[in-house]
Structure 1
Amino acid sequence: MPALRSDQWYAGSDRNAYLHRAWMRRGVPDSAFEGRPQIAIANTASDLTPCNRHLDEVAASVANGIWEAGGVPLNLPVVSLGETQVRPTAMLWRNMAAMAIEEMIRANPVDGVVLLGGCDKTIPALLMGAASVDLPAVVVPGGPMLTGTFRGVPLGCGTDVWRLSEEVRAGTLSPEGFLASESSMIRSRGHCNTMGTASTMGLLAEVLGMTLPGTAGLPAPDSRLLARSHGTGKLIVEMVAEQRRPSQVLTEASFRNAIVALAALGGSTNAVVHLLAIAGRVGVPITLDDVDRLGSGVPLLVDLQPAGRFLMEDFHRAGGLPAVLNQVADLLDPAAPTVTGRPIGDYLAGHEISDPEVIRSREAPLMPEAGIAVLRGSLAPAGAIIKPAAASPHLLRHRGRAVVFDSVEDLHARLDDPDLDVDADSVLVLRGCGPKGYPGMPEVANLPLPEKLLRQGVRDMVRICDGRMSGTAYGTVVLHVAPEAAAGGPLGRVRTGDPIVLDVEARRLDVDIPADELAARPLAEAMATAFARPARGWERLYVDTVLGADTGADLGFLVGGSGDRVARESH
C-alpha cells in the first residue's frame, strides 16, 4: 500500500494528529488509523429524492465490502436532487451538487470514494465532482424500479404520464381514469424504469469504465445489486492501493464508447449535456460534433420506452448492457480502461441476447441509424439536438410557420386558447428556457400540443426550444438550441409566422428569412422581461457564470479540476 492521503490527518503524535484521531474514534477499532485506507461513501440517499431512498441499504453493502478488504468506510451524505420534486428544475443545482461533492471529498481525510447515485442529476454531479478531485472513485448506480401495471398494461415512468395526460386533454381518457393509474406507476424502489436520463446515465457510467462491470441496469430490488455493491467496496480498496484514478479511466476512448452506446441504447438527450460536462472536468476534448459523428450511424438495438415498447426490467432480463455492447463491439474501442484495471474489451465477449424482441441483433435493429443528431443553421449557430428514434419519421423533414411562446408562463396562458392561430403543420417555438434564461434549462422542450389539435387526432408536431426535455419524453422535439435566447441567440428574434425549416438528414435548422433582417431585429421584449434576474444566492452565481448547452452547461470556473490537495492546513 502506498502512502495514504489520510495519513496527512492521522499519522504522527503531534496535537493535530491526536485531535483528528480522537474525534473519529467513536467505536472504530484502533487499527482504523494504522495505514488502512479511508473510503468515503458519497451517498445521495434522501427522502426527498424518492428514486434514491434505498441507497442507505446499498451503502451498507458497500461498507461491508470495504471492511472486508481492509479499508474503513465513511458515510458521506452529499447534495441530492429529486428530479420530480425540486423547483424550478433539478438541473439548476447539478453544478452546485458537483461543486459541493468536489469540495467535501477534497476537504476530508479520505483516500478514495464510492459514488452512490440514481436519479437523473445525481450520477452526473457525482462524476463531475469526483473527476475534478481525481482521487480513486467508482460508481454504484441505484438501479431502475420494477414494472408497474394498470389494468393489465405495463406503465413506463414519465413516458406514460406524458401520454396519458395528453389523452385526458384530447378527451379520450377521463380524469378519473388518469388518476386511478397513479398508485400503480411506482411499483418498487429505484429510479424510472424507462430509458430515461437515470437509466441512461447509470448505463453510461459503466461504459465510461466507472463501475464494477455488470452492475449498471440491475433493478434496484434485485439482491444482486447488493452483492455488486459489496464487490465495489472491495474494489475501491484495491483502487487506492494501485492509485487508479478517474483521470486514468475517463479517457477520450471512454467518451467515444459512451456516445456509441448512447445511440445503440436509444438513451436520453440529457446525456449529451452531462457527457460534455464530465469531459470538461477531465480535459477530454469531446464536442457536439463528436456526438453526431460517432453516434449518427449507430443502429438502435433497444426497444424500450420512450423510443420503443419495453421497460428496464425487460432490458435486464434480455441480457442488459453487456448484450448490447457485444452487438456493437466493432464500433467500440476495446482498449478503453475501466476501474478494475482491465480494458472494457475484456468484458464484451460471450454476452448473448436472451429476448430478441427487447434487445435486437445488429442484423435486425429497431432503426438502422438512430444516434442523436446535431443540427446547425441560422436558428442554431452553436448547435441543437434531436432524438430521431423518439420522433415521427414524417416530421424529420418539415417546413412550417412558427408559433412563438416567450416563456413557460406565456405557453400555459395561450396554448389552449381556441383562437390560437395554429395547425398541425405549425412549428411550436418556446424560448427563454436555456441555462441562463429560466434559469437551469428546465425540461419543458416537449411542449404539450394545443388541445384543439389533440381533439383532431394530432399527436406530434415539430417543437423547438432552448431548454431540455425529460429523458422519458418523446416527439419531434429540437432542443438545447444554442446560443440560447437569453445569451442573444437568434431564437430570441424569431416571430410568429416566420417559416421554420427542419431537415434532420441534412442536419439543418433554419428560419427562412434574410440573415440581415433577422440580425437587425431586436430581442423580443416580452421574452426578455421573463428572463431570470436573481439578486442573490446560488441562482445569481449560476446565471452569471453558466456556460451554454453546447459545452455542457457547467459553470465557467468549474471546468477542469484542481486535484486532491487541500490549499491550507488547519490548526
Structure 2
Amino acid sequence: MTFKPAPWPRKLRSQHWYGGTSRDTIYHRGWMKNQGYPHDLFDGRPIIGILNTWSDLTPCNGHLRELAEKVKAGVWEAGGFPVEVPVFSASENTFRPTAMMYRNLAALATEEAMRGQPMDGAVLLVGCDKTTPSLLMAAASTDIPSIVVTGGPMLNGYFRGERVGSGTHLWKFSEAVKAGEMTQEEFLEAEASMSRSSGTCNTMGTASTMASMAEALGMALSGNAAIPAVDSRRRVMAQMTGRRIVQMVKDDLKPSDVMTKAAFENAIRTNAAIGGSTNAVIHLLAIAGRVGVDLTLDDWDRCGRDVPTVVNLMPSGKYLMEEFFYAGGLPVVLKRLGEAGLLHRDALTVSGATIWDEVKDVANHNDDVILPAEKALAQSGGIVVVKGNLAPKGAVLKPSAASAHLMAHRGRAVVFEDIDDYKAKIDDEALDIDESCVMVLKNCGPKGYPGMAEVGNMGLPPKVLRKGITDMVRISDARMSGTAYGTVVLHTSPEAAAGGPLAVVRSGDFIELDVPNRRLHLDISEAELAARLATWQPAHEQAASGYAWLHQAHVEGADTGADLDFLKGCRGSPVGKDSH
C-alpha cells in the first residue's frame, strides 16, 4: 500500500485550543502554563497524548510510569510536546466479576479522553490483555494518529528446574493438587516462581497475543511484541515509539490507514502461527467494528484454517516469551507467513513502510522455538469456528491447545447452569460423570455472567483426574484465559442468557463435536429443540442500574466482538465548539 503524507506544516487539532490570542485560547493555554511550560511549546508543534494504563492494581502494567518517561523523551527529541494522560485500566487478575466486562467502558472512557482534549496524536501505553484492545478500540473510533507500545512480558519462571508459565502452570498445578500428584504446600512454594519480574504473562496468553496482534495489524513498531519488560531494549522501543508518533502526526497517518481488511487478515493468520489466544477473536472483531472493517467469524476460519502453528510456546508448546524474543520474535513469524504466501505484504504499518519491508531481512535464531512448518505443533493451527444447532452463530476452539483424540467426539452432556452450580458440584464424588462426557457451562456469556468471564476451561472432576485423564470436551458461552489449554469450545453464540440453544441443553443429552467438519450438534430433534426454546425463561435477573445495567442492555454477542451496540463505527474526533 502506498501512503501519501499530508502537507506539513499545517494547522493541527490542538491549535483549536492553544493557537491565537482569543480569551478562550488564553484560558486553555494559560492554565497549562501553571506546570512551567514555556510559551513556545504552544506554537503549533504536535501535542502527543501518552495514554497510560498504569495502575498499582494492574500488576502487569505496574512499570508503565517508567516506560512513559522514555516515550516522553522520544516525543521531545522529535519536536513534539508530550502530555501523559492516565486512562481506565482493567486487570484480569484483580477485576471482578471480570475485566472483560470493563473493556468496553475503558474503550469509551479513553475515546472521550482523546476526543475531548487537545491531542494531535496518541501513544497507547498498554500491557495487561484488556488494555490493549480497549485502547485500540478507542483509537479506531476517534481516528487520531496512534501507535501502540506494550509493557512487555515478564521473565521466565522456574520451579524445581521446570519452566513455569504464568497462568498455564497455575491450571496445571491446581489440577495436580486435585489429582493428588502435588501437595498444597508445594503449590504455595511454586507460587513464588510464577511472577518473578515486572511484565505481562510470559506465556502466549492473551496479553502477549494482543501485543502480537497490534504488531501484525501494523499498529506497533516492528519487534515490539516480545521484548521482555525488564530488558533495556523495551525502553529503547518506548523512546523510538515516542519519536515516531510525532512524524505520524505530521504525515496524518491514522488508524484507518493502517487497520484495513488486509491488516486484519494478516493478524488472523499470525494468531494461528503463534498459537494465540481465543480472546483475540473477540477483540479483533470489536476493533474492526470500531474502524469500520467488515470482519466476521467466517473470516477467522477462512484465513486461519491452513496456517501451521510454528511458535513453540506455552500453553501449546514448551517455551516462554523470553525465548521467543531471543529467537527473533514476531518479525520472524511474519517473514515466514510472507514467504508462504500467507501475508498481505503491502499492508501499511505505523512506521510508514509496508509490513514486508519491516521483516524481509530478519533471521530465525532458534528453530526449536520458531519451528519449521514441517515440525509445526499443529498443521492447521488457526482458531476453529464450529456451527450447528447448538451454536447457530458459531463457537470457537483453539486446536493447538486441544487433544487430537477429542477433536471428533460424541458424549453425554453434564450440565452446569452457571459458574456457581459448577463450583457446587464439580468436587462431588457422586457426580455422574466420566471422561467420555461433555461438560456444559451456561450463563457465562457477555450478558450472562455478566461480562463473559474466563471460566470456560472448567477444571475436571477430581475422580476423573485421579485416573490420569487430563482433558475432556468442555462447552460454554464463556471465554478462557489465553494461558489455558484443553479441548474447550468457547463463545457459543447466541449465549444462554440471550435464549440461545445452549440455554436448553439438559444433562443426559448427547452432543457431537466434529472439528474437521466444523460442526457442533445437540442430538435432539428440531421439534424438541423448538419446544424447549419456546418455554425457556431467563435464569437470572438483569441488573437494575449502573454500568452493569448499561452493559447487559447494550452488549452484543461474542460472534461480533461483544462491543456495546452504540459504539460501533469510526466516529472521528471533531474539535467541536469551545464551551468557555
- For 1:532 and 1:361, locate their aligned partners in 2 and report how far apart those are by CA, in whole Å: 52
- For 2:156 and 2:507, locate their aligned partners in 1 and report how far apart those are by CA, in whole Å: 42
**1:302-313 pair list within 5 angstroms:** 302-313=311-322
Contact 1:327 1:361 in 2 (8 A): no
- For 1:365 and 1:173, locate their aligned partners in 2 and report how far apart those are by CA, in whole Å: 31
- For 1:139 and 1:214, locate their aligned partners in 2 and report how far apart those are by CA, in whole Å: 12
Q: One-letter code of the match for 2:113?
A: M
Contact 2:385 2:395 in 1 (8 A): yes
- For 2:186 and 2:233, locate their aligned partners in 1 and report how far apart those are by CA, in whole Å: 36
Measure how far apart 1:316 and its partner are. 0.6
Q: 1:523 to 1:48 in 2, by over 3 A?
A: farther
**1:466-505 pair list within 5 angstroms:** 466-505=477-516
- For 2:483 and 2:535, locate their aligned partners in 1 and report how far apart those are by CA, in whole Å: 31
- For 2:198 and 2:527, locate their aligned partners in 1 and report how far apart those are by CA, in whole Å: 55
1:188 aligns with 2:211: no
1:534 aligns with 2:559: no
CA-to-aligned-CA distance 1:269-322 (integer Å, 9 cap, x gap): 000000000000011111000100100110110110001111000111111101
CA-to-aligned-CA distance 1:88-126 (integer Å, 9 cap, x gap): 100000000000000000000110000000101000000
**1:313-324 pair list within 5 angstroms:** 313-324=322-333
Contact 2:24 2:578 in 1 (8 A): no
Match of 1:16 in 2: 24
1:6 aligns with 2:9: no
Match of 2:414 in 1: 403
Match of 2:105, SS state, is helix
Match of 1:331, SS state, is coil
Match of 1:28 in 2: 37
Q: One-letter code of the match for 1:127?
A: L
Match of 1:165 among 174, 178, 188: 174
Match of 2:356 among 345, 349, 352: 345
- For 1:372 and 1:562, locate their aligned partners in 2 and report how far apart those are by CA, in whole Å: 30
CA-to-aligned-CA distance 1:151-209 (integer Å, 9 cap, x gap): 12111000000000000011110000001111111110000000000000001101100
Q: 1:113 to 1:434 in 2, by over 3 A?
A: same
Match of 2:59 in 1: 50
Match of 1:88 in 2: 97
Contact 2:16 2:575 in 1 (8 A): no
Match of 1:375 among 378, 383, 386: 386
Match of 1:456 among 454, 467, 489: 467
Match of 2:345 among 323, 334, 343: 334
Match of 2:49, SS state, is strand
Contact 2:499 2:538 in 1 (8 A): no
Query: More deviation in 428-437 or 222-231?
Result: 222-231
Match of 1:510 in 2: 521
Contact 2:153 2:321 in 1 (8 A): yes
Q: TM (normalized to structure 1)? A: 0.98
Which residues of structure 1 form unaligned runs of 5+? none
Match of 2:308, SS state, is coil
Match of 2:152 among 130, 143, 154: 143
Query: More deviation in 357-366 or 125-134?
Result: 357-366
Contact 1:439 1:532 in 2 (8 A): no
Match of 1:259, SS state, is helix
Q: One-letter code of the match for 1:450?
A: P
Q: TM (normalized to structure 2)? A: 0.97
Match of 2:6 in 1: none
Q: 1:523 to 1:27 in 2, by over 3 A?
A: farther
- For 2:234 and 2:541, locate their aligned partners in 1 and report how far apart those are by CA, in whole Å: 42
Measure how far apart 1:524 and its partner are. 8.5
Measure how far apart 1:363 and its partner are. 3.6
Match of 2:399 in 1: 388
Match of 2:306 among 276, 283, 297: 297
1:271 aligns with 2:280: yes
Q: One-letter code of the match for 1:423?
A: D
CA-to-aligned-CA distance 1:230-274 (integer Å, 9 cap, x gap): 111111110110100001010011000000100000000000000
Match of 2:4 in 1: none
Match of 1:325 among 328, 334, 347: 334
Match of 1:371, SS state, is coil
- For 1:28 and 1:234, locate their aligned partners in 2 and report how far apart those are by CA, in whole Å: 20
Measure how far apart 1:417 and its partner are. 1.1
Match of 1:174 in 2: 183
Q: One-letter code of the match for 2:227?
A: L
Q: One-letter code of the match for 2:150?
A: P
Q: One-letter code of the match for 2:97?
A: P
Contact 2:554 2:566 in 1 (8 A): yes
**1:85-234 pair list within 5 angstroms:** 85-234=94-243
Contact 1:437 1:532 in 2 (8 A): no
Contact 1:375 1:508 in 2 (8 A): yes
Match of 2:538, SS state, is helix
CA RMSD of aligned residues (A): 1.1
- For 1:124 and 1:397, locate their aligned partners in 2 and report how far apart those are by CA, in whole Å: 33
Q: One-letter code of the match for 2:32?
A: M
Q: One-letter code of the match for 1:551?
A: T
Query: More deviation in 6-15 or 469-478?
Result: 6-15
Q: One-letter code of the match for 2:353?
A: R
Contact 1:492 1:523 in 2 (8 A): no
Contact 2:215 2:222 in 1 (8 A): yes
- For 1:290 and 1:200, locate their aligned partners in 2 and report how far apart those are by CA, in whole Å: 18
Measure how far apart 1:522 and its partner are. 4.6
Measure how far apart 1:440 and its partner are. 0.3
> Runs of 4 or more off by more than 6 Å in structure 1?
none
1:439 aligns with 2:450: yes
Contact 2:273 2:309 in 1 (8 A): yes
Query: More deviation in 317-326 or 371-380?
Result: 317-326
CA-to-aligned-CA distance 1:502-545 (integer Å, 9 cap, x gap): 000000000111011011015887x833x352111111000000
Match of 2:375, SS state, is coil
Q: One-letter code of the match for 1:519?
A: A
